[in-house]
Amino acid sequence: MSDNRFQIALVGWNRERAFAKYPAAAIYTFAVRNGAVKTHAEVILTDDGLEIIERKGKDARAAARLALERLLVTGCNPFEGPIFLQVPYRQAEYFSKFGNFLTTFPSF
């Protein structure tokens, strides 16, 4: 699934350590383009979400990209403001089992 209006490319990623009340996380930075217009989006997986995805042999980078694609398909315009998307643990858990996300996420 992808929104053909946008080209998405991974720019980089890093792991942040836990700090105060904030858990550790992996942050994936993507470049989003529409023709000559370019912006960046960040997708955040908490350490627990990253761990469950990798433990099940799935690609966390693919999960981050898919989460961003899903957001863009809903009509989000990445050029209106910065995108900081955090993938909740339950969605990471679902991805780890099925390699995809639900179209609409259930409330847990």
pLDDT per residue over 9-51, tens digit each? 999 988 877 677 767 788 999 999 998 999 999 999 988 888 8
Which domain range does residue 78 map to? 7-98
15 part of a folded domain:
yes
Helix ranges, the chain (H): 47-55, 60-73, 89-98
pTM for the predicted model, two decimal places: 0.81
Structural domains in the chain (count): 1
1 within a domain of the structure (yes/no): no
Q: How many angstroms separate the Cα of 9 from the Cα of each of 64, 66, 70, 101?
A: 11, 12, 15, 20
Q: What local confidence, expressed as pLDDT, does residue 39 receive?
A: 95
Q: Is residue 38 part of a domain?
A: yes
34 within domain boundaries: yes
The strand pair at 83-87 and 25-34 is best described as: unpaired
Q: Which two tokens stand for residue 92?
A: 């990471």
Q: How far apart are CA 11 and CA 40, in angstroms?
A: 9
90 within some domain: yes
- Using only the alpha carbons of the chain, give its radius of gyration: 14
